[in-house]
Amino acid sequence: MDREVQFIGQSGAFLDAVERASRAAPMRRPVLVIGERGTGKELIAERLHRLSTRWQEPLVTMNCAALPETLIEAELFGHEAGAFTGATRARTGRFEEADRGTLFLDELGTLSMGAQERLLRAVEYGEVTRIGSSKPVRVDVRIVAATNEDLPKLADQGRFRADLLDRLSFEVITLPPLRVREGDIAVLADYFGRRMAAELHWDSWPGFAGPVQKAMEEYLWPGNVRELRNVVERAVYRWDDWSQPIGHVQFDPFESPWKPVASMRSEVAESEGAVPVRSAMPSADFDSVADLRAAVDAHERAIVEHHLGRNRYNQRQTAKALGLTYDQLRHCMKKHGLSDKT
């Protein structure tokens, strides 16, 4: 787990989730943590452990999606020597390692049905049996599991055991995505930015320019807090002048004019002598446009703001990037009320 990341936020939805975790922590019962990638499920699991009576005992983590199906059961429950090819000596599983402590099962929805059945017995009876052994081992483990899957839906489809879901869902904590955490984007961006600036030994923290702040607020953050951290840290380290607010941010690190465009389809088309078809431009919501001039002006302003930031407010470089003369750019900036330092 990344212990450098702290709980940072002020939105009601986020604070409610943290408060629920704090209330559930002293209980000995299982907890399910649900949330999109990057929402902080690992941090909630660690909070559940650190605020419990087991805080001095092991917190053992296992990513259920990181191992092939054939090894998951051996990893969870251990195995005896000779239990399968390559098992040259006995090995304890994660359950035994977490005895008297907490076992955090990440990506729970990826467990095979066989592993789910053995996990059910471990939860129900507090016993695990190593592969290749007939002797059960008693364990005292508190389970915290996390997933971004809809487990009730998987249970309805027969892809997840309903009885296991019943036993693991004493408490369910659903973490809100960053896009609905009102006010938290600015707080998190400032925190990550200041920390990166300190790492780079900047003399001061200039903050973000207005257009950059607006862009971050309007972005949907599919990767949530983890993505925000990467975007902010990348913007800070690429910015050379710490006396000026950071004026450019790149959400997609793969964005490039030299990005490879070849695909299997185009290769097949070329091999067959066909002419590759250019992909269509993404469709816009033209039905929502009620004022054409205002819509065009807004689009023009957004383009100019973006390129000003990308060129660190160097107006001659910005004009060149946009195919304008310096005077044309100045006229455009004046038209849209853009100052020299946006």
Q: Report if residue 258 sits inside a domain.
A: no
- Distances, alpha carbon 321 to alpha carbons 9, 272, 327, in Å: 38, 38, 14
How many whole angstroms separate alpha carbon 244 and alpha carbon 212? Answer: 13
Q: Nearest CA to 121 among 83, 151, 164, 162?
A: 164
pLDDT the model gives residue 277: 39
Task: Report residue 79: phi and psi, to 5°.
Answer: -155, 160
pLDDT the model gives residue 285: 61
Count of CA atoms in the C-beta half-sphere (13 A) of 76: 33
Domain count, the chain: 1
Which domain does 137 fall in, by range? Answer: 12-176
Burial (CB < 10 A; 0-12, 13-18, 19+), residue 78, is buried
Q: Report if residue 148 sits inside a domain.
A: yes
DSSP string, 195-209: HHHHHTT-SS---B-
The per-residue pLDDT string of the chain (342 residues; one tens digit each, 9 = 90 and over) reads 444 447 899 999 999 999 999 999 999 999 999 999 999 999 999 999 999 999 999 999 999 998 887 788 888 998 888 777 777 788 888 999 999 999 999 999 999 998 999 899 999 999 998 888 888 999 999 999 999 999 999 999 999 999 999 999 999 999 999 999 999 999 999 999 999 999 999 999 999 999 999 999 999 999 999 999 999 999 999 998 888 999 999 999 998 777 786 655 555 555 555 444 333 334 456 667 777 787 788 788 888 877 877 776 778 888 888 888 877 878 888 888 776 544
pLDDT the model gives residue 156: 96
pLDDT the model gives residue 182: 93
Q: Report if residue 138 sits inside a domain.
A: yes
SS3 291: coil
Q: Report if residue 266 sits inside a domain.
A: no
Q: Is residue 33 a contact partner of residue 41, using CB atoms and an 8 Å limit? A: yes
Q: Report if residue 105 sits inside a domain.
A: yes
pLDDT the model gives residue 281: 38
Q: Report if residue 333 sits inside a domain.
A: no
Query: Which residues on adjacent β-strands are paired with residue 57?
Result: none
Q: Report if residue 95 sits inside a domain.
A: yes
Helix, strand, coil percent values for the chain (each to nearest 5) = 45, 10, 45
Q: What is the CATH number of the domain that holds 108?
A: 3.40.50.300
How many whole angstroms separate alpha carbon 146 and alpha carbon 212? Answer: 33
Q: Catalogue the E-assigned strands of the chain.
A: 31-34, 59-63, 102-106, 127-128, 137-138, 142-147, 171-174
* Per-residue buried b or exposed e for 223-258, using 16+ beta carbons within 10 Å of the residue's own CB: bbbbbbbebbbebbeebeebeebbbbbebeeeeeee
* Residues contacting residue 308 through CB under 8 Å, at least 6 positions apart: 211, 247, 315, 318, 333, 338, 342
Q: Report if residue 168 sits inside a domain.
A: yes
